[in-house]
Amino acid sequence: MTYGDGGRRLRAPVVELTDLRALERYRPADPGVVAEARRLKEAALLDFGLTESAVASWLYAKCRHQIPTTAVDTAAVVASGDGTCLLLYNPGFFVGLGLDGVKFVLFHEARHLVHRHLLAEPELREDPVFELAAEVSVNHVALIRLEREELPLLDGRPTGVDPRRVYEAYTADLTAHGLQPVPYETFTETDMRVYGELKRMHHPPVPDPRLCLHLGEDGVPLDQRTVDEITSSALLNSLLAARRGHAGAERELLDLMGRTEEGSARAARLWGNLGAGLLRGETARTRTVDWWQRWLVDVLGSKLRDGERLVYPKKRGALLAALGQDPMLARRGPVREKVLVIAYDTSGSMPDHVVRWLTDLVGRIDGVEAHWLSFDAVVMPFRPGERVYGGGGTSFQAVADYVEGRTEVGGRRLDVTPDAVVVLTDGYAPPISPAEPEKWIWLITQGGSEWPETHTPAMACHRVTTGSR
């Protein structure tokens, strides 16, 4: 997706947009301009992380390559088929926009990815009216979230699709055909509402391909699987941040959920899988979904909570930049990595899909150092993906002894104090009383024993669904 200004010419990419070297080599810009553009980008991302958009902040944290290049006229997020995301930005474009404009453009691009992830129904994607609706929705939200009156200016002219101009065209079209337009607030209420209202027009405007390069045929590569992976990971981390007490992340997610789940079965399902309803205080006690997964996301969110609330001075980004420091260091997640231990009981049979889901979940949580253990009568650390072998006998005490630093495995002691310990087991072994029971989370397979729930002290305990899902 490429942010455009409506004035710049659409052109086919001059180099392969996934070819890092070619991008960097292509007509290098003035080093001073590049340095200033990079500074603006970093300052923008820092602000997102601290106050304005946890989702955008996490998304760009996952764009491993962020390349200033004149191979694009504006800025674009490229999702390539190998699972990586790149942010490409034209240095002159960023310098021309200034900090406020850069923030708007970066927010626009991030939100586009989220939109594409949540509302990816093929019949929508093929409709040019839906593309325009996306521009309207994204810029409407950007204006509100970033507290702007106007679109960013470039050379004194506003850039991008102005939702209010589109609304005027909509009102004129409907009125001319004797139809009743809805008020602007209703028009922009949800993403599908924007689309639905635009569809009522006799002549819905066809989005000008110059407004956003991804609208054109030779658009920017956007691999849907990569978009899904990166975006869902950013949403999960934002959700965990919200559950850890980041009020900004919570508000942003609630708003985003409200905008997208209505009218889209896909978006509603994705939010449901994520367990995001917890933010509304909905308890996920329903049998039709894997509510133990939602439960775990919630419990982990609270167990990994930061001890004290992180308070960042608002001007910190500007200060760091003024001191000539790279603000990048300050924006990546919590101050200290949280330590998570996941222990699989291999004495019985562990349901594969549960193990896979857990591995995937933990892999997508940023700011967490994960230690994987398998255990029967003894503890054996392993790496995700490695085959684990189980034998006879089960000892939870062996896990507690290792986690609490009393025993060595392979000549090594666990030299960190975990913030949470997840145990996946059938529960059949002598109960234990860990030193810090509030850190333990027990996932009990079907037919297993749920003793931790009634133990003294009681511990977080949930049965996992091991049926068809």
Nearer residue to Zn ion within complex by CB, 198 or 212: 212
Interface positions, 285-324, toward Zn ion (CB under 5 A): none
How far apart are CB 119 and Zn ion at their closest, in Å? 14
Nearer residue to Zn ion within complex by CB, 143 or 212: 212
Phi then psi for residue 401, to 5 deg, are -60, -40
Instruction: Give the three-class secondary structure for 314.
Output: coil
Please name which of 123, 125, 89 lies closest in space to residue 109, comparing C-alpha atoms. 89
Residue nearest to Zn ion (CB): 212
Cβ 50 vs Cβ 62: under 8 Å? no
Nearer residue to Zn ion within complex by CB, 114 or 212: 212
Nearer residue to Zn ion within complex by CB, 212 or 441: 212
Nearer residue to Zn ion within complex by CB, 141 or 354: 141
How far apart are CB 393 and Zn ion at their closest, in Å? 59
Q: Indicate whether 63 belongs to the interface with Zn ion (CB under 5 A).
A: no
Options 47-55, 208-216, 224-232, 367-375: segment touching Zn ion (CB under 5 A): 208-216
**How far is the C-alpha of 283 from the C-alpha of 457, rounded, in Å?**
24
Nearer residue to Zn ion within complex by CB, 214 or 243: 214
Nearer residue to Zn ion within complex by CB, 19 or 100: 100
How far apart are CB 391 and Zn ion at their closest, in Å? 56
Where do runs of H (alpha helix) occur along 189-304?
191-199, 224-243, 247-260, 265-274, 291-303
Phi then psi for residue 133, to 5 deg, are -55, -40
Q: Is 385 exposed, middle or buried (0-12, 13-18, 19+ CB in 10 A)?
A: exposed
**How far is the C-alpha of 73 from the C-alpha of 29, rounded, in Å?**
12
Please name which of 368, 384, 233, 371 lies closest in space to residue 301, comparing C-alpha atoms. 368
Q: Is 332 exposed, middle or buried (0-12, 13-18, 19+ CB in 10 A)?
A: middle
Instruction: Give the three-class secondary structure for 41.
Output: helix
Binding residues with Zn ion: total (CB under 5 A) = 1
Strand partners, 372: 342
Nearer residue to Zn ion within complex by CB, 207 or 275: 207
How far apart are CB 201 and Zn ion at their closest, in Å? 20
- Positive or negative: CA dihedral 145, 149, 150, 156: negative
How far apart are CB 223 and Zn ion at their closest, in Å? 17
How far apart are CB 112 and Zn ion at their closest, in Å? 5
Options 124-132, 207-215, 219-227, 329-337: segment touching Zn ion (CB under 5 A): 207-215
Phi then psi for residue 227, to 5 deg, are -55, -45
Options 15-23, 204-212, 263-271, 364-372: segment touching Zn ion (CB under 5 A): 204-212
Nearer residue to Zn ion within complex by CB, 115 or 305: 115
How far apart are CB 60 and Zn ion at their closest, in Å? 16
Cβ 90 vs Cβ 38: under 8 Å? no
How far apart are CB 138 and Zn ion at their closest, in Å? 6
**How far is the C-alpha of 44 from the C-alpha of 71, rounded, in Å?**
22
Nearer residue to Zn ion within complex by CB, 37 or 132: 132
Q: Indicate whether 212 belongs to the interface with Zn ion (CB under 5 A).
A: yes
Reading the block at residue 328, the tokens are 């990048």
How far apart are CB 5 and Zn ion at their closest, in Å? 11
Radius of gyration of the chain (CA): 25
Options 7-15, 90-98, 116-124, 206-214: segment touching Zn ion (CB under 5 A): 206-214
Options 99-107, 199-207, 210-218, 281-289: segment touching Zn ion (CB under 5 A): 210-218
Q: Indicate whether 213 belongs to the interface with Zn ion (CB under 5 A).
A: no
Please name which of 253, 304, 306 lies closest in space to residue 278, comparing C-alpha atoms. 253
**The amino acid at 339:** V
Report the Cα 446 to chain-centroid distance in Å.
31
Options 74-82, 211-219, 281-289, 452-460: segment touching Zn ion (CB under 5 A): 211-219
Please name which of 426, 436, 425, 422 lies closest in space to residue 362, comparing C-alpha atoms. 422
How far apart are CB 213 and Zn ion at their closest, in Å? 9
Nearer residue to Zn ion within complex by CB, 205 or 348: 205
Options 11-19, 123-131, 196-204, 209-217: segment touching Zn ion (CB under 5 A): 209-217
How far apart are CB 100 and Zn ion at their closest, in Å? 18
Cβ 70 vs Cβ 26: under 8 Å? yes
Q: Which residues bind Zn ion (CB under 5 A)?
A: 212
